[in-house]
Structure 1
Amino acid sequence: MTAHIDKLDALNQHLSLHDKIISIHKTLSERYPFIVRIAIAIYDPKTGLLKTFIHSSDEHALEHYQAHLDEVPSLKAIIDKGLPRVINNFLTFEHSDSEHTQRIGRQGYLASYTLPIFNNGDFFGFLFFNSNEKNVFSETILQQIDIYGHLIALMVINESNIIQTLSAAVKTTGNITHIRDPETGSHLDRMSRYSRLIAIKLADQYQLSDDFIEHLFMFAPLHDIGKIGIPDEVLLKPGKLNHNEKQIMQSHSVKGRKIIDDLLKNFELEHIEYSCMLRNIIEYHHESIDGNGYPNGIKGEQIPIESRIVAVADVFDALTSVRPYKKAWSNGKAFDLLAELAGQTLDANCVNALLASKDEIDQIQQQFKENFYG
């Protein structure tokens, strides 16, 4: 019997998606040392945005970057043709107007292989293999790399499907219990994207990686799942809540934490990456910087950064949206109140990050308008 070392054994371990991709890269580079970076960008079909997600190197060529797919014609052509792309000499693209191509070139990559990722036939994103040597991607080598590429693609898609399963479970539970939250799907689309805007602006200050930011974007819509357990007479009351009703409403944070704990356990997803972030968003997004929030009265930096980000995004969209008890505020009026609340109720850095994103906010609001007729 001959002993054999499984070079991909790390994939059997309880590791993050990022660490698993690093492990695959290490194994691949033993055979092909010219491959110095593996990276994934994922596609948002609702906005047409292509967003950097995760990569395997210590280099930061394209972190916190997004672009409309239509604005990156070299990548859009891959989808139109339905075929991978091989660039064996980046010098042929040195005069490209694409920021994506220019930033890759500045990093010193000389060749690349780009593999489109599809999930059941739907475009999901791109997988990039970057090289520090040119003319290295021969047909024989590409056949070997394809195996690793599809393995990575399946891992990334699986991660996304897990979160979609959680979201679907929450939505189904709400329908079964006939609870109707006045916060619409458009609200969730907007506030999750506001959360992402804030996180990108704060990425350098708080060392937030692209996969952290993307998970924040995916988890933000689940922040109020505890409202499933709030009675209609409280949840849908058009007027001001009395003291007892307010206490019932405020219990949704604790109820939400219990619901998500049960869901993660029942779906055997307790160890998914960033599950702590999900729990923090749900339980702490109503905590206040001055300690007067709920459910635990923690304050300042005791509140996780993801919870502080979602709090600002949620408050802003609540202010600028119609509710049973109020008309929608103008952006300007909402910005003024956020500035007043900064450093007291809301995190000042998160508020300032949102206030610095007014053009992007306008775009999100135009794209995700309320549809009161369903």
Structure 2
Amino acid sequence: METTSRKAEALGMCQHDLNHQLAEIQQRIKVQLPSLDKISFALYDTREHLLRSYADSSSTSLSTTHYEAPLCALPYLKQCIESRSPACLSEISSLRPSPHITALLAKGYHSSVAIPTFNGQVFRGFIFLNSHQANAFNPADIEQVKPYLQMLESRIFFEYQIVQSIIEKANTLVARSPVYQRESVSHKQRVSSYTNIIALALADRYDFDDEFVEHLTLFSQFHDLGKVKISPELLCKQRSLTADETYALRKHISYGEELVDDITKELNAADHPSAQLLREVVSCHYEFLDGSGYPRHLTRGAIPISARIVCVANIFDALTTHKPYKQACSVPYALLELEKMVSDGKLDSDCVNVLREHQHQLKAIIHRYPERDPMDGCY
């Protein structure tokens, strides 16, 4: 019964997403290329210089492969970028073995086409066409279906641009509050990294697709967006908060909801799945499974899995960073505190278990994004 509810929850998140759009276009292309069995898109992360799986027409069945690789380790694809032209590969097994190549071969794929995509002069990623047959594609085939490939690019860039526009507007709001920006920069990066670890580890259990993992990772940075409307004095207070101050600080949830609504309405994207995901994160990341959280005292299934993930990531970060009124906990001690909250019925055990199983990565993230010492003065 639990597995069924997880599948239903994931299906609700994945309807009308980019995966389904790729599947629809695949069916059109198959009229001219009957050997086409899969279309996927890998997004280029300019900050990390990684190529990440992002959308996949085969993911409409909620069976996905999550992967990433540094572009410098993919000379075959680097040549495509330099020439700005597609490359047909008659047999995938001829490439140097990697987890992704192994996964493709295990699923029976043998040939592929890599098509570099550019938004103006900026490289954005690759469209891949795959077939279960060897020697399935040639340059003449790719030229023949070029209008469909352009349609694919248009759909991908449209979806990508909505997400990027939301992030740009959120970052603009944060920049208008220098105090909050300084206070939150490392916190945002760590919470995003912890969120990514949890979401990837739970992907098979909850049938998260790559698009969901990518967007949740990005949007988790803005879980506290409403704090841009909180007074600097309250944000910078060096001692424990009074009851009235705690109440005032908690209003950042409703402020955040208002800001998300303003952003998504301005972009004419209020009903877009990405907008809904951001709302879930902003609205529910302080809700606890037993109803003791805020602001709506939601319980268990009423709390979206997206918010349950960010909730655990956020609390772990709070425990492992210094505050003016407390010292940071060690990673093992913080995990014990989280496990106590699981035992008390507050946190999702699946999410906490993932952190316990990835302690080496957690320590690396803390080292990579260190918190400034609060005793150095006001944020």
Which TM-score tier does this pair reach, normalised by the shorter chain? 0.7 to 0.9
* Counterpart check, 1:263 vs 2:259: no
| Shift, 1:259, TM fit | 1.4
Contact 1:200 1:213 in 2 (8 A): yes
* Counterpart check, 1:306 vs 2:321: no
Greater shift after overlay, 290-299 or 40-49?
Answer: 40-49
Name the structure 2 match of 1:69: 71
Secondary structure of residue in 2 paired with 1:256: helix
- Judging by fraction of residues, say which structure has more helix: 2
Give the 5 Å matches for 1:68-107.
68-79=70-81, 82-93=84-95, 96-107=96-107
Q: Which residue identity is paired with 1:24?
A: I
Name the structure 2 match of 1:7: none
Name the structure 2 match of 1:176: 176
Secondary structure of residue in 2 paired with 1:109: coil
Name the structure 2 match of 1:24: 25
| Shift, 1:371, TM fit | 7.1
Higher relative contact order (CA 8 A, sep 6+): 2
| TM-score, normalised via structure 1 length | 0.87
Cα separation, 2, equivalents of 1:168 and 1:273: 17
Cα separation, 1, equivalents of 2:194 and 2:349: 15
Secondary structure of residue in 2 paired with 1:125: strand
Name the structure 2 match of 1:242: 242
Give the 5 Å matches for 1:102-121.
102-121=102-121
- With over 3 angstroms needed to count, the CA separation of the structure-2 counterparts of 1:219 and 1:37, relative to structure 1, is same
Please list the CA deviations of residues 74-119 of structure 1 after superposition, one character each: whole Å capped at 9, or x if unmatched: 44454466543210123434xx322222221222112100112233
Name the structure 2 match of 1:287: 287
Kindly report the root-mean-square deviation, in angstroms, between the aligned alpha carbons of the 2 structures. 2.6
Name the structure 2 match of 1:138: 138
Specify every segment of 5 or more residues in structure 1 that has no aligned partner in the other structure, as ranges: 1-13
| Shift, 1:70, TM fit | 3.8
Q: Which residue identity is paired with 2:124?
A: F
| Shift, 1:223, TM fit | 0.9
Greater shift after overlay, 333-342 or 275-284?
Answer: 333-342
Aligned residue pairs, count: 359
Q: Which residue identity is paired with 1:92?
A: S
Greater shift after overlay, 137-146 or 68-77?
Answer: 68-77
Please list the CA deviations of residues 336-359 of structure 1 after superposition, one character each: whole Å capped at 9, or x if unmatched: 222222243321111111221223
Aligned-residue identity in percent: 31
- With over 3 angstroms needed to count, the CA separation of the structure-2 counterparts of 1:119 and 1:330, relative to structure 1, is farther
Which ranges of 4 or more aligned residues in structure 1 deviate by more than 6 Å? 371-374
| Shift, 1:287, TM fit | 0.5
| TM-score, normalised via structure 2 length | 0.86
Cα separation, 1, equivalents of 2:278 and 2:183: 19
Specify every segment of 5 or more residues in structure 2 that has no aligned partner in the other structure, as ranges: 1-14
| Shift, 1:168, TM fit | 2.3
Name the structure 1 match of 2:203: 203
* Counterpart check, 1:277 vs 2:277: yes
- With over 3 angstroms needed to count, the CA separation of the structure-2 counterparts of 1:176 and 1:153, relative to structure 1, is same
Give the 5 Å matches for 1:202-221.
202-221=202-221
* Counterpart check, 1:347 vs 2:354: no
